[in-house]
Amino acid sequence: MSNTGARNDPYLAFRFLVSFDDVSKGGFSSCSGLQMETEVQDFVEGGVNSHSWKFATRSKQTNLTLKRGIVNKVLWDWYYDITIGKMKFQNVTIAVLDSAGAEPVIEFQLLRAFPVKWIGPELDAAQNNLAVETLELAHQGLSRRK
Please indicate, yes or no, if residue 49 is contained in any of the structural domains.
Answer: no
| Furthest CA-CA distance within the chain | 70
User: Do the domain assignments include residue 4?
Assistant: no
In a domain, 2, yes or no: no
Q: Is residue 50 part of a domain?
A: no
The confidence band for 101, taking pLDDT boundaries of 50, 70 and 90, is confident
CATH number of domain containing 123: 2.30.110.20
83 sits in which H/E element: helix 74-83
What tens digit of pLDDT does each residue of 16-59 get? Answer: 999 998 766 678 999 999 999 999 999 999 999 999 999 999 99
pLDDT at 82: 95
More confident residue, 6 or 82: 82
Total number of domains in the chain? 1
Answer whether residue 7 is part of any domain: no
> Which range of residues forms the domain containing residue 70?
17-36+55-144
Q: How far is the C-alpha of 132 from the C-alpha of 130, rounded, in Å?
A: 6
DSSP state of 26: B
* Amino acid symbol at 136: E
1 confidence band (pLDDT: 50, 70, 90): low
Three-class SS state of 38: strand
pLDDT by residue (tens digit) across 107-141? 999 999 999 999 999 998 998 988 999 999 999 99
Strand partners of residue 135: 66, 118
pTM for the complete prediction?
0.83
Residue 90 in domain: yes
Question: Considering the domain boundaries, does residue 43 fall inside one?
Answer: no
pLDDT tens-digit readout, 63-75: 999 999 988 888 8
